[in-house]
């Protein structure tokens, strides 16, 4: 295996849960583009196959530690989590957003945070610590170039709106390969809800 840095001994990796209701998110992306008046020169939608929640970013890891990571995440136990996508926002702030995200309902939020905490506890046993606390949000657009101001009427219309539901029932160890046309994510290992 080869990572984007050309090092044969490392890969860029993270632990995540995927979104399966991608068609509903794609529909929302189209609605937001139409209502926001955004152009392809301003924003790039996240591709369906890349829609996920990152529970913990691992960074560049040595290939020989992958088996240890698999063992640790195999130890987590969780039931399927029903989430409702609700509201939108911009990061770092709606007035100068670099990404546009969709939030999660309160119950789904709590359960995803609990799942992320389990993952972090297990991975801390082999030396991994999160670079930032987990906050459930689904990145649906990346801003190209300068930041973007999300208009007040868009925030008023979509800020607290429920969009669609989904079931989270798998946790993945993912490899990330950065390319000029965007990242390519590959599942290395999967843990199923019990």
In a domain, 29, yes or no: yes
In a domain, 10, yes or no: no
172 counts as catalytic: no
Structural domain span for residue 98: 22-192
Of 30, 52, 93, 172, the catalytic one is: 52
Residue from 51, 111, 115, 102 nearest 82 by CA: 111
In a domain, 17, yes or no: no
**For the segment 144-190, what is each residue's pLDDT rounded down to a tens digit?**
988 899 999 999 999 999 999 999 999 999 999 999 888 999 999 99
pLDDT value, residue 181? 83
- CB of 118 within 8 A of CB of 110? no
Domain count across the chain: 1
Beta bridge partners of 82: 167
In a domain, 15, yes or no: no
pLDDT value, residue 7? 60
CATH of the domain at 97: 3.90.1140.10
**pTM for the full predicted model:** 0.91
In a domain, 7, yes or no: no
- CB of 10 within 8 A of CB of 1? no
52 counts as catalytic: yes
In a domain, 84, yes or no: yes
């Amino acid at each position: 295996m080869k990572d984007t840095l050309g090092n044969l001994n490392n890969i860029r990796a993270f632990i995540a849960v995927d979104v399966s209701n991608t068609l509903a998110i794609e529909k929302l992306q189209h609605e937001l583009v139409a209502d926001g008046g955004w152009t392809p020169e301003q924003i790039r939608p996240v591709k369906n196959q890349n829609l996920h929640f990152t529970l913990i970013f691992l960074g560049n890891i040595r290939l020989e530690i992958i088996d240890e990571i698999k063992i640790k995440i195999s130890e987590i136990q969780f039931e399927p989590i029903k989430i409702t996508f609700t509201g939108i926002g911009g990061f770092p702030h709606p007035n100068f957003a670099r990404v546009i995200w969709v939030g999660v309902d309160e119950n789904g939020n709590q359960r995803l945070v609990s799942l992320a905490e389990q993952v972090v506890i297990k991975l801390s046993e082999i030396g991994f610590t999160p670079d930032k606390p987990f906050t459930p949000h689904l990145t649906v657009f990346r801003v190209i170039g300068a930041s973007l101001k999300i208009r007040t009427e868009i925030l008023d219309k979509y800020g607290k709106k429920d969009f669609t539901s989904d079931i989270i029932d798998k946790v993945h160890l993912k490899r990330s390969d950065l390319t000029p046309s965007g990242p390519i994510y590959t599942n290395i290992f999967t843990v199923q809800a019990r």
